[in-house]
Structure 1
Amino acid sequence: MSLTSQTPFVAPRTVVDERADILDYRVLDGEEWDRAIAGFDGVCQEQLFAYAQLRWPGVALEPVLFSQGGRALGGALVMLQRLPLGLATIALVKWGPFLADNQAGDAEGRMAWIIDTLVAEYVNRRGMMVSIMPKVEASEDNRVAAMLAERGFRPGVGVRYPLRYVVDVTLDDDTRMAAFGQKWRYNLRKSLKAGLDFEMAAPHEVERFMALYQAMSERKLFPDFSGIATVEGLMAMPEGTARPELFFVRHGEKTVAGAVIFTAGDTACYLYGATDDAALDLRAGYFLHWHIIRWLRDNSRAKLYDLGGTDGFAGLHQFKSGMVGEAGHISPLPPVMNHATHWRAHAMGAAAYKGREILTRSRDAVLAARLDLQRRFKRGVKA
């Protein structure tokens, strides 16, 4: 049975395949998908339908649930990007596929099974290029990337700054405090004496965060290629889904820092953060993350807290590496892994990725130059 769709997402349907190497799989509608995967160990924000439809509005989405004997084993939100003239299609899975149970004794076998099923459907049957961007792992040798390579996938374009900073959130307060870098621990202790308050906010308070973020953006004039426009949609997700949580730090009545945190699954993720002018002297960022780590330990299933990357900023590297300290890991994201057996899909897909890389670097250079001019003008006005 075909899963082909010409619409943003397809109607639910099930494929039962009797070959031993292929799982049963079913395409869900968006809301059903977000509810179905909310309790999976490997769920992440990039695999949420609510996120992807806002972040990537030009692609078709196929949320595929894999099962065996009626038991869900994992999933993959597949993004279908048709290339110019309809000559080929790329089926992209970003930070997936993922498992329902990462601790299962045959977890690696289940992941391999899911990958083989994706290849059978999108590469072999539909003639597409499949591109998979695996999640970061606590090693330079990414197991999922290795599985893909064994199946004929080839490395493609990687992110410019691939290191991800991941904190262990399972430790008690004293052990976690001791594991921070020395300077990070010093600044945290200063913040704990600064009269700050930490609070978890309701989803409807997202406008409070967006106002803080907007003010910070105007103040710092930094290039922003993030998915910040998705925040309000994410916070509007219904109960029973992997809706992020919202946290703030106050100094008196004034909000000085805030963060949107993905808390579902076994790896939480820092999505977006914002600070006020006063936050630096108050060391509010240290205070905020300390309490987020403690909240995750006490209120979620998360074992790890992914802080993201640095985009090459030395200050972010210092801050995040100090937070990881001796309990967590700093590991690279592998490049996207591509596989196609049809010559047209392979050639067109490779050309599309190369073209996108050139355009992205050109855009970044132009924006960086423009922001530099704005900063110089701003300094000149103040002088």
Structure 2
Amino acid sequence: MSAAVSSVDRVEMLRPSGALRADTIELTRRLVGADDWDAIISGFDTVCQEQIFAFAQMRWPSVILEPNLFYVGNVPVGGVLIMIQRLPGGLSSIAIAKWAPMIADTQHPEADAIYSAMVAALKAEYADKRGMLVSILPHASTDPHNADYAALRGAGFKRGYALTYPDRYLVKLQLSEGELRASFDQTWRRQLNKSEKNNLRFEPAPPEQLGAFKSLYAAMSERKLFPDFSAFDTLDKLFALDPALRPALFYVYEGDTLVAGAVIFKAGKRAVYLYGATNAAALPLRAGYFLHFHIIQWLSQNTDADWYDLGGTDGFLGLHQFKKGMVGSRGVITPVPPVVNYASNPLAYALGVGALSAREMLHRLRRTLSRANRNIAQSDQPLPPLDRQFS
């Protein structure tokens, strides 16, 4: 079972150097308990589902979870939920962080220095002191240059594996309705206009109505035969979270019939499309266009999010075309960087990278075998080249 080190086990004063203004930042690192962690990071600008303790505990039950909070004085400025994966035979361990480190305030004048200082702290604790490989998957950036990836490479991390289809599709929020409609590609906007003539109704739904979404999702999965590698079985845990971190649930009805639904992570500055489901009538009704248009408006009016992350495509060209049209002229299509790895000890590096490579090969084999099943929907999107900044 997953475990966490309880409240304030270690305190470390850190004054890193070499990064942008990092020599002016003095951080305190504290390991905190699960409840404190989730409560505090709920207010972070770059909070994400993978960094929530309650989610990670269910999604990856075999790892040890260590929630690292970083403070300047008494103010939390960032954090990293580290997952400790022990290698077989106790030869070594890997310290894994997904979509991290997180920044509490992306507008902080020393946000870049805080990020670099947190990276230095992770290296000092997990690589230098405890002899582990540190493996980090940074966020996709809304800027053309991924500063987080560059900071990690500048700190000595080496490039690891990259996602097969790394592009993420991000819609710009906080636009007026007129600006939003104008931002869509012409074809996407035309489909939206048609959907609005189909007697559809959009409604936010309470957590008690999650069962209807599960039924809709199960029926869609059986109908479309998409391979599902998601964390759908964690939904109940996510909807049991406190309101700040709890996802939002939305439905679209034709009359009284539920035709489409979506689960959206809404905390922080980047809302994320987690799951969607439709029935067989949704396609001719263009219910997906209607659903996402109203989700975008709801997020702009009810959250502080600046971006709506639609996720990737898993290699399906139809999804690429649909999401690209929604991103339009004001959003961005941007790649998730490769994983980066660091170890102070060459043996720890070799063992850790070897284990990660073996796991990645198993994942790719599983996907290859799923594609060999002709009853399963097949990916048809061309493989994209690796972005030059990650080469």
Q: TM-score, normalised by structure 1?
A: 0.93
User: Kindly tell me: are residues 84 and 196 of structure 1, through their superposed partners in 2, closer, same or farther at Cα, counting changes over 3 Å?
Assistant: same
Whether contact under 8 Å (1:46, 1:52) holds in the other structure is yes
Letter of the structure 1 residue corresponding to residue 247 of structure 2: P
Cα distance between partner residues in 2 of 1:307 and 1:375: 20
Match of residue 316, structure 1, among 314, 319, 331: 319
More deviation in 135-144 or 255-264?
135-144
User: Kindly tell me: are residues 102 and 366 of structure 1, through their superposed partners in 2, closer, same or farther at Cα, counting changes over 3 Å?
Assistant: same
- 2:135 matches 1:127: no
Q: What does residue 53 of structure 1 align with?
A: 57
Letter of the structure 2 residue corresponding to residue 59 of structure 1: V
Q: What does residue 275 of structure 1 align with?
A: 278
Q: What does residue 189 of structure 1 align with?
A: 193
Letter of the structure 1 residue corresponding to residue 5 of structure 2: V
Cα distance between partner residues in 2 of 1:137 and 1:79: 23
Q: How does 1:126-145 map to 2 (within 5 A)?
A: 126-145=130-149
Q: What does residue 355 of structure 1 align with?
A: 358
1:279-334 Cα distance to aligned partner (Å, 9 max, x none): 00000000000000000100000000000000110000000000000011101100
- 2:31 matches 1:27: yes
Whether contact under 8 Å (1:14, 1:24) holds in the other structure is no
Whether contact under 8 Å (2:173, 2:305) holds in the other structure is yes
- 2:293 matches 1:295: no
SS of equivalent to 1:104: coil
- 2:159 matches 1:159: no
SS of equivalent to 2:61: coil
Q: Which runs of 4+ in 1 moved over 6 A?
A: none
User: Kindly tell me: are residues 364 and 190 of structure 1, through their superposed partners in 2, closer, same or farther at Cα, counting changes over 3 Å?
Assistant: same
Q: What stretches of structure 1 of length at least 5 have no aligned partner?
A: 1-5, 377-383
Match of residue 260, structure 2, among 238, 257, 260: 257
Match of residue 343, structure 1, among 341, 346, 358: 346
Whether contact under 8 Å (1:15, 1:24) holds in the other structure is no
Whether contact under 8 Å (1:204, 1:235) holds in the other structure is no
Whether contact under 8 Å (1:95, 1:135) holds in the other structure is yes
- Structure 1 residue 350: deviation in Å? 1.2
- Structure 1 residue 374: deviation in Å? 6.5
Cα distance between partner residues in 2 of 1:130 and 1:226: 24
Superposed CA RMSD: 1.5
Q: What does residue 380 of structure 1 align with?
A: none
- 2:43 matches 1:39: yes
Whether contact under 8 Å (2:165, 2:312) holds in the other structure is yes
Letter of the structure 2 residue corresponding to residue 283 of structure 1: R
SS of equivalent to 1:298: helix
Cα distance between partner residues in 1 of 2:71 and 2:100: 16
- Structure 1 residue 139: deviation in Å? 3.6
- Structure 1 residue 191: deviation in Å? 0.7
Letter of the structure 2 residue corresponding to residue 58 of structure 1: S
Whether contact under 8 Å (1:16, 1:23) holds in the other structure is no
SS of equivalent to 1:136: coil
- 2:65 matches 1:65: no
Q: What does residue 3 of structure 1 align with?
A: none
Q: What does residue 121 of structure 2 align with?
A: 117
Q: What does residue 370 of structure 2 align with?
A: 367
Cα distance between partner residues in 2 of 1:86 and 1:178: 57
Q: What does residue 10 of structure 1 align with?
A: 5
Cα distance between partner residues in 1 of 2:377 and 2:77: 51
User: Kindly tell me: are residues 23 and 374 of structure 1, through their superposed partners in 2, closer, same or farther at Cα, counting changes over 3 Å?
Assistant: closer
1:80-119 Cα distance to aligned partner (Å, 9 max, x none): 1111111111111100111110011111111111111111
Letter of the structure 2 residue corresponding to residue 335 of structure 1: P
SS of equivalent to 1:13: coil
Letter of the structure 2 residue corresponding to residue 287 of structure 1: F
Q: What does residue 381 of structure 1 align with?
A: none
Letter of the structure 2 residue corresponding to residue 83 of structure 1: L
- Structure 1 residue 39: deviation in Å? 1.0
- Structure 1 residue 19: deviation in Å? 4.2
- Structure 1 residue 23: deviation in Å? 2.0
More deviation in 22-31 or 272-281?
22-31
- Structure 1 residue 337: deviation in Å? 0.6
Q: What does residue 310 of structure 2 align with?
A: 307
1:11-66 Cα distance to aligned partner (Å, 9 max, x none): 11153334422621112222221111111111011111111111111111111111
Cα distance between partner residues in 2 of 1:306 and 1:276: 23
User: Kindly tell me: are residues 208 and 130 of structure 1, through their superposed partners in 2, closer, same or farther at Cα, counting changes over 3 Å?
Assistant: same
Cα distance between partner residues in 2 of 1:354 and 1:18: 34
Letter of the structure 1 residue corresponding to residue 85 of structure 2: Q
Cα distance between partner residues in 1 of 2:160 and 2:29: 27
Cα distance between partner residues in 2 of 1:205 and 1:79: 32
Cα distance between partner residues in 2 of 1:207 and 1:25: 41
1:195-220 Cα distance to aligned partner (Å, 9 max, x none): 00000011121111111000101111
Cα distance between partner residues in 2 of 1:53 and 1:19: 28
Letter of the structure 2 residue corresponding to residue 288 of structure 1: L
Q: What stretches of structure 2 of length at least 5 have no aligned partner?
A: 17-25, 379-391
- Structure 1 residue 375: deviation in Å? 7.8
SS of equivalent to 1:226: coil
Cα distance between partner residues in 1 of 2:2 and 2:319: 40
How high is the sequence identity, in percent, across the aligned residues? 49
Matched residue count: 369
Cα distance between partner residues in 1 of 2:68 and 2:224: 40
SS of equivalent to 1:42: coil
Q: What does residue 288 of structure 2 align with?
A: 285
1:161-211 Cα distance to aligned partner (Å, 9 max, x none): 000000001110001100000100000011111100000011121111111
Q: How does 1:225-264 map to 2 (within 5 A)?
A: 225-239=229-243, 241-264=244-267
